[in-house]
Chains A and B, each alone.
Chain A
Amino acid sequence: MAEKLKVATASLCGCFGCHMSILDIDERILDLVQVAEFDRSPITDIKTIGDCDIGIIEGGVANAENVEVLLEFRKHCKILIAMGACAINGGIPAMRNSFTLKECLEEAYVDGVGVDNPMIPQDKEIPMLLNKVHPIHEVVKVDHFLPGCPPSGDTIWTFLTELIEGKPIRFPYEQIHYD
């Protein structure tokens, strides 16, 4: 039997909805694990990434930690996939780009309704925010895009099976949507 493909996944600035959608492939995951095994992923709870065949990124790039994870993924994955609206164009988090970072932080931590002890956090443990949220292709080269908020389990399945079988990836009309 051929060696299994190694797959890693991560959620950057997203809502984990895309990861939920991976689980929406339901029992087909049993077929998937016949040919693939998960490396770093919230599914395995493995925290560091080794060399992988496929990296799947959910979420946009909003802070320094997102950048770090994304660069690691790019370094270790032969094929990198942007999964979902946020990874592809920043998505809902990118709506903060209409404001300055200062405005956002002041709204959240200083002027917002019900804020006690107003103060913008400065703790070194907290990843520093970028002035804007970016889609991942603005930081690293992306090999495939899988749109949707989230992409459906069927879309993910079509993609993974065709990718693994080395076929050109073609989606039925109803599997591609941006919402």
Chain B
Amino acid sequence: MSIDTYIDEITAATRNRPDYLLQNLYEIQYQYSYVSDQAIKLLAEKLALSESFIVGVIGFYSFLHTTPRGRFDILISDSITDHMLGSRGLLDTLCNKLGVALGQPRADGRVTVDTTSCTGMCEQGPAMLVNGWTVTRLDQNRIEQIVELIEADTAVEEWPQEFLTVDDNIQRRDILLSDNSNAGDALKALIEQGDEAILQQIESSGLRGRGGAGFRTGMKWRFCKQADADQHYVVCNADEGEPGTFKDRVLLNSYADKVFEGMTLCAGIIGATKGYVYLRAEYRYLRAPLEQVLRKRRETGLLGTDILGKQGFNFDIEIHMGAGAYICGEESSLIESLEGKRGIPRIRPPFPVTHGYLNKPTVVNNVETFMAAALIAVHGANWFGSVGTEESSGTKLLSISGDCERPGIYEYPFGASMQHILQDCGATDAQAVQVAGAAGATLPAAEFNRCIAFEDVATGGSFMVFNQHRDMLDMVRNFAHFFVHESCGFCTPCRVGCSLMKDLVDKVYTGHAGQYDLDEMHKIGELMLKSSHCGLGTTAPNPMLDTLNKFPQIYNERLKHSSYEPSFDLDAALQDARDITGRDDAGAHIGTES
């Protein structure tokens, strides 16, 4: 098929809507391994967009490219938990055996190898993506086999099934994961009791957003319901990008019906007829099974028109793919991305509940929130409020990874202490827990008596354990680099601050820093925290600020005695001149100690 015909087809399937640009680009990327100039030109014509706008969208998303990638496009997950499982060594092996340089297509065009932000396989890593498909549990042996498969040009679909298997690894179930209600139960309750009664149940249950911010779900739905507009939208945030989080992956894999039920319930209450699941590109493998669940729900009258026979209860759900951008987990960025644009966080107010997707009132909730809402409709607010704390009712799913015997998914009533959780997962010599991901909090052992709760340690679900042998600066460094990669670049403090921070962390790491540099990190962190446009910028300095405060020794033990050190390696800065002139005399060097 010619590219003209292909683009005709995919744009026709999305009715030439410019807000489907990102979806079109995603398809083109995986069809051709890149989006060519010609493809950009054709898309610009079809969607009535400027070419530079399209180029800008491609440039924003890590998984989209304007130059060809290898036919096998490999991305090794580069999160700290992957590192702890040896991913960096495996990456080197892979590059060596395939004869490729990082990020460069091999001369024959067969393969590229690069790194990517956390792929959400932390408890079964190291992991990688091949053409978007997830491969877990990498080790030397598996890497060698993968090299053979690539050299033999074996399509990923034909790779051994165990390579592509993703396990749920549910270790502890509480009220959500042990629920055995049936598909449609929540919607029946809605039809029987009426939307006001169910909304009141959700309000009185105290359910708060499970993405981490903890906004009251009932209140959000109420605001959206009250916003006057010809259309309302329901959006499920399945852009689970926070490093160390993988619980939405499991819910979408094994509890999708309940998640969709929650979305449909919300639609019934706020008066929406259309919903979207924004699924991160890293979970490409989940798309087909989710489509299957959606089909089944349509067949059984749980989606579509006159749902469960109720006249005028119309709602359907579409899956939109992300394309590699952590920022799109922020709800207004996610909406921008849903509209096919660069995922830049919007100015707020107005908030999505009044001006969301296509400027219409929109509820954006986390996967887990929708599931919890559905079950509250079935079992009632009291059932939900019977566990948890006063301010944080219900349970929280934790994605536990790192140094413990039993990593996986743990569902705890809010109020569970770190101590208790660490014991359950078999973490016997933890020196620290990183809760809520790269943007979260670093807790030393002295704080293991603290609890998972909105009023204590809030989390979207990430829970990474570091044992006594780990160098916590490795974690800090990983996160500092992560934020440089994921900052959207819109506002000054985050765009520039993340890079300055990363350079300072690297300076400490390589033993070139003095006390002044630590003071600078405090200062830059403070500025980012206070002046950034969105939550990414305000939380990006957390790992540095937290560890400077709680783990000062990881910095101090690497400091030079003098307080002020050059920002660059003086002698290394002469290397170009040495190479050009061939000089290596005393004058061609700068002594490091004066």
Contacts and interface: CB of A to CB of B under 8 A. Distances in A.
Please determine if A and B sit in direct contact within the complex, based on CB atoms under 8 angstroms apart.
yes
Given A67-B590, A75-B594, A140-B564, A131 B582 contact: no
Nearest to B581: A122
Contact of A128 (B564, B567, B568, B587): B587
Q: List the 3 shortest-distance A-B pairs measured between CB atoms, nearest first.
A: A141-B564, A131-B576, A138-B567
Interface in B544-569: 563-564, 566-568
A121 B588 CA distance: 13
A71 B594 contact: yes
B577 A67 contact: no
Nearest to B564: A141
B578 A128 contact: yes
Nearest to A138: B567
B580 interface: yes
A5 interface: no
Residue from A100, A105, A128 having most chain B Cβ neighbours under 10 A: A128
Contacts of B53: none
Contacts of B563: 141
20 contacts: A64-B587, A64-B588, A68-B590, A100-B576, A102-B576, A121-B581, A122-B581, A122-B583, A127-B587, A128-B583, A128-B588, A130-B577, A131-B573, A131-B575, A131-B577, A138-B566, A138-B567, A138-B568, A140-B564, A141-B516
A118 B585 CA distance: 23
Contacts of B578: 128
Contacts of A120: 580-581
A108 to B, nearest CB: 12
A157 to B, nearest CB: 29
Interface in A49-102: 64, 67-68, 71, 75, 100-102
Contacts of B570: 67, 130, 139
Nearest to A105: B580
A129 interface: yes
B565 to A, nearest CB: 9
Given A124-B587, A128-B583, 6 more contacts: A71-B594, A101-B577, A128-B577, A130-B570, A134-B568, A139-B566
A64 B568 contact: no
Nearest to B572: A131
B287 to A, nearest CB: 45
Contact of A129 (B516, B566, B577): B577
B270 to A, nearest CB: 54
B573 A130 contact: yes
A122 B575 CA distance: 14
A82 to B, nearest CB: 14
A101 B580 contact: yes
A80 to B, nearest CB: 11
A100 B577 CA distance: 10
Given A64-B574, A71-B594, A101-B576, A128 B581 contact: yes
Contacts of A132: 573
Nearest to A134: B568
A127 B441 CA distance: 49
Q: How large is the interface on B (under 10, 10 to 19, 20 to 34, 35 or more residues)?
A: 20 to 34
Interface of B: 516, 563-564, 566-568, 570, 573-578, 580-583, 585, 587-590, 594
Interface in A108-147: 120-122, 124, 127-132, 134, 138-141
Contacts of A75: 594
Contacts, number: 60
Interface of A: 64, 67-68, 71, 75, 100-102, 105, 120-122, 124, 127-132, 134, 138-141
B398 to A, nearest CB: 44
Nearest to B587: A124
Nearest to A140: B564
Nearest to B575: A131
A151 B262 CA distance: 67
A127 B573 CA distance: 13
A128 B574 contact: yes
Contacts of A134: 567-568
A129 B564 CA distance: 23
A124 B566 CA distance: 25
Contacts of B516: 141
A53 to B, nearest CB: 19
A124 B589 CA distance: 12
Nearest to A72: B594
Contacts of A67: 570, 590
Contacts of A127: 587
A124 B594 contact: no
B585 A124 contact: yes
Interface centre among A67, A100, A105 (most CB of B within 10 A): A67
B564 A130 contact: no
Residue of B570, B576, B577, B590 contacting most chain A CB atoms (<10 Å): B577
A96 to B, nearest CB: 12
A160 to B, nearest CB: 24
A79 B122 CA distance: 52
Contacts of A131: 573-577
B304 to A, nearest CB: 60
A116 to B, nearest CB: 19
Contacts of B577: 101, 128-131
A19 to B, nearest CB: 25
A140 B563 CA distance: 10
Contacts of B576: 100-102, 129, 131
B582 A122 contact: yes
Contacts of B590: 64, 67-68
A132 B567 CA distance: 12
A120 B567 CA distance: 28
A132 B573 CA distance: 7
Contacts of A64: 574, 587-590
A129 B590 CA distance: 11
Nearest to A100: B576
Nearest to A122: B581
A128 B588 CA distance: 6
A128 B574 CA distance: 7
A64 B570 CA distance: 8
A131 B573 CA distance: 5
Contacts of B567: 134, 138-139
Contacts of A129: 574, 576-577
Contacts of B574: 64, 128-131
